[in-house]
Structure 1
Amino acid sequence: MKPLVSIITPMFNSEVFISETINSVLNQTFLNWELLLIDDYSSDKTIAIVNEFITQTPNIKLLKNEANLGAAISRNKGIMEAQGDYIAFLDADDLWKPEKLQIQIEFMQTEDCDVCFSCYEQINETGKPLNKLIKALPELTYKKFLKSNYIGNLTGMYNANVLGKITTPDLRKRQDWAMWLDAIKKSGKPARSIQESLAYYRVRKDSMSSNKLNLIKYNYLVYKKGLGFSTLKSIYYMLIFLREHFFIKSKQIVSTNKI
C-alpha cells in the first residue's frame, strides 16, 4: 500500500493564490495524500474558495484559528492533526509540479532517507517565471545547515513514522528552518536532496527576503529563541550565517536562461 502524505498549508487572506495552490496538489501523480489547510482568521474569500474544493475532494480538510496566530502556530496545528506517514509543506501562494510527491516518496524509500528536499524555481506574483533556479545541495548535515537555511520549505518532506511529529517554534519568520534543523538532528543522518526542480516559489513584493534587515533579525532569532543559544553564541552563528548567505548560498541561484 502507498504511504500517506500529509500536506500542511497555512493560509491568511489567500484568495488570490489558494485555488492555484490547491490545484497543484490535485494534479499530483501520487494520489495517496491529505491536504490540511489551516486558516489563520482570514477576512477575505479564502474559506469560501476552500469550501468549494472540499465539497468535491474528501481528502482536503479545513482547520480554522479563532484569531490571527501566525504561520508557526498554524503549521503546528496542521502537523498535530496530520495522519500521514510523511509530512510535507506547501504555502498558500506556492506551487508543486505534478510529479513532486511521486519522485520524492520513491527517492526517500529507495535511499532510506528521513529528510528530503529538492531544487525549485522562482515565479513572480502573477505566476510568470523569473528564470531563477535555486539549486539544492546534494547532502545537508546538521553542522552545515546551522550556517544557513538551505531547505526550501515548499520542497521539504520528513518521515513522520521514523522521526515522529516535528513542530516549529513560535517565531514570526524562519520557523521552518528551526524545524528542519530539529528533523535532521533527530534523524542522525544528513538530509538528502533531489537534483531537479519540483516546485515553484512565488516571490512577492512584501516578502521578508526582500528586506535585508528583517533577514538578519529573524535569522538571529532562530539561533536565540528557536535553538536556545546564548546571546554570544547566537551572534557568533549569525556572523557565520552572513558569510554563508552572501558568499556561498547566493551561488545556488542559477539563471535558467543558461541551462
Structure 2
Amino acid sequence: MSHPRVTVIAPLFNAAEYVDVFVSKLQETLGADDEAVIIDDASADGTSAAIAPLIEGDGRITLLRNEKNLGVAESRNKAVRAASGEFIWFVDHDDKWEPSILEVLTSNSDGVDLVQCRADYWIEPDTNVRVVDGVDDLREISAAAYAELMLEGRIHGYLWSKLIRRTALGEAPFPPLSSQSDFSGLAALLPRLQGVRLIPNVLYHYIQREGSITRGKRVNFSNFEYGHKALVESALRLGVGSRDSLDLFKARFLIHAAAFVPVRQRTPREVRRAGLSIAHAHSRSINVSRILRMNRRVGAEMAVIRYAPVFYTPALRLALAYHDMRIGAKARS
C-alpha cells in the first residue's frame, strides 16, 4: 500500500551554520513523492544563499523567503498554504530525528487526522536526558481523549512529534504569538480532529545546544494565557475537563510558567516580580489543597506561590542550580 504524500515544513531564521546537515537529513528522510517547504524568515546571515545550491535539482524541496521578518507562527502559516501534501510534518532545523520517521508515521495514519510518536530531549552532543512527549503504548483515541492527555500534561504542543492531516490544519492554524503559537494552534484544532493514533516509538530528538537556555529581558505572559484559554475552550467543546483537571492544567501550564520562566531565563528583577505577581493572582482561583493531593510536586509549587511567594525565587534558583549541575555532570561523564 502506498503511503500518503507528506509536506515537511521548516521555518528558518539565521540558520546558515546548520543548513548543510539539515538539508542532508531532510533529503534522506523525504520519500520520492513527498515534498518540503523551507521558509527563510528574512535571515540576515545568508541562510537562503546557503540553502539554494544544496537543493538545486531536487524538485521535492521548495525554498520560500520572507521579505521581512514575520515570526515563526506566520511563517508556518505561509508554508501550510503552499503545501500540497495530505499530511504535514513540522520540523526544527537544528534537531535530530530517525530517518524512518515519516515512514513510521505515515504507516500509522490510516483513518486518523493526527499521528504522534514519542520525542526525547538531548543535551549536545550526546546526553539523553528524558522523554518529553508521547505515551509508551500504541493506542487509537478520540480528539476528546487527546485533549484530556494535554490537560494532564502527558501530551505537549511540540509540533515535531506530530503528523497532522492538512485539511484539519486549515489555512492559518497558528496565532501570531511570539511564543506558544504551536501549543495554541494545536489546542484550537482539536475539535476538528477525526481520530488520533499514538505510537510508542521515540523518533524525534530535541537538542539543547550549549548556551541555548534563553536569557531574555522580556516575557510575554499573555501568550501563556492565550494557550491556556485555547485548550480549555477546546476541551469544553469536546465535553471533557473536570474542575480538578482544569485547575491542575491551569497550575501546571499558566501559573507555573508565569513564575518559572522569568527565573529560568534570567530576566531582570522587575520581570521576575511581574511574573510572580501574575502567578500569585491566578493561584487564588484554584484549589491548592486538591492539587496537592493530585500532584504533590505541582501542589507544593502552588502552595509556595499562593502563601509564601517571597520564598519562590530563591528556592527555585537553588533547585535550578542543582538540576543544571546534575545534568552537566551527566554530560561530562
Q: What TM-score bracket applies, with the shorter chain setting the length?
A: 0.7 to 0.9
Alpha carbons of structure 1 residues 222 and 163: separation in structure 2 relative to 1, 3 Å: closer
User: In the alignment, which of 163, 167, 174 is matched to residue 168 of structure 1?
Assistant: 174
Per the TM alignment, residue 164 of structure 1 is displaced from its structure 2 partner at its CA by: 4.4
- Residue 238 in structure 1 maps to residue 243 in structure 2: no
Corresponding residue number in structure 2 for 1:150: 156
* Pair 1:17-2:18 in alignment: yes
The structure-2 alpha-carbon separation of the partners of 1:181 and 1:221, relative to structure 1 and needing over 3 Å to count, comes to closer
Deviations 1:50-95 (A, max 9, x none): 1012213111111111111110011001001000100110012122
Change (3 A) 1:154 1:74: same
Assess, with a 3 A threshold, how the Cα gap between structure 1 residues 215 and 196 changes in structure 2: closer, same or farther. farther
Out of 24-33 and 115-124, give the one that drifted further. 24-33
Return the TM-score normalized by structure 2.
0.62
TM-score w.r.t. structure 1 length?
0.78
Q: In the alignment, what sits opposite 1:73?
A: 74
CA distance in 2, matches of 1:169, 1:42: 21
Q: Which moved more, 1:179-188 or 1:2-11?
A: 179-188
More strand by share: 1
- Shift in Å at residue 49 of structure 1? 1.8
Moved more, 80-89 or 165-174: 165-174
Give the CA deviation at 1:143: 3.4
How big is each residue's C-alpha offset from its partner over 1:196-249, in whole Å with a ceiling of 9 and x where there is no partner?
A: 1111212143455x88x959664223235x5797xxxxx9653253478x659x
Which is richer in helix?
A: 2
Secondary structure of 1:154's counterpart equals: coil
Q: Determine the structure 2 residue equivalent to 1:133.
A: 131
Gaps of 5+ in 1: 230-234, 249-254
Change (3 A) 1:163 1:216: closer
Q: How does 1:43-54 map to 2 (within 5 A)?
A: 43-54=44-55
| Whole-angstrom distance in 2 between the partners of 1:108 and 1:122 | 25
For structure 1, which segment, 79-88 or 195-204, has the greater mean C-alpha deviation from structure 2 after superposition? 195-204
Q: Which among 182, 185, 188 is matched to residue 188 of structure 2?
A: 182
Point out which structure has higher relative CO (alpha carbons under 8 A, 6+ apart).
Answer: 1
User: Helix, strand or coil: the match of 1:20?
Assistant: helix
Identity of aligned residues (%): 23
3-state DSSP class of the match of 2:43? coil
One-letter amino acid matched to 1:7? V
Listed one character per residue, the Cα deviations across residues 116-170 of structure 1 (whole Å, up to 9, x for unaligned) are 2111232335x43434333513565223324545243211111124664562111
1:29-52 deviation digits (Å, cap 9, x = unpaired): 743211101111101131122101
Kept in 2, the 8 Å contact 1:115–1:192? The answer is: yes
The 1:132/1:13 distance shift into structure 2, 3 A limit, reads same
After alignment, is 114-123 or 86-95 more displaced?
Answer: 114-123
Q: Is the 8 A contact 2:39 2:79 kept in 1?
A: yes
RMSD over equivalenced CA pairs, Å: 3.3
Task: State how 1:95-134 maps to structure 2 within 5 Å.
Answer: 95-109=96-110, 112-125=111-124, 127-134=125-132
| Secondary structure in structure 1 of the residue aligned to 2:179 | coil
Separation of aligned partners in 1, 2:205 and 2:252:
28
Instruction: Give the match's secondary structure for 1:238.
Output: helix
SS of the residue aligned with 1:16?
Answer: helix
For residues 217 and 24 of structure 1, what CA distance do their matches in structure 2 show? 36
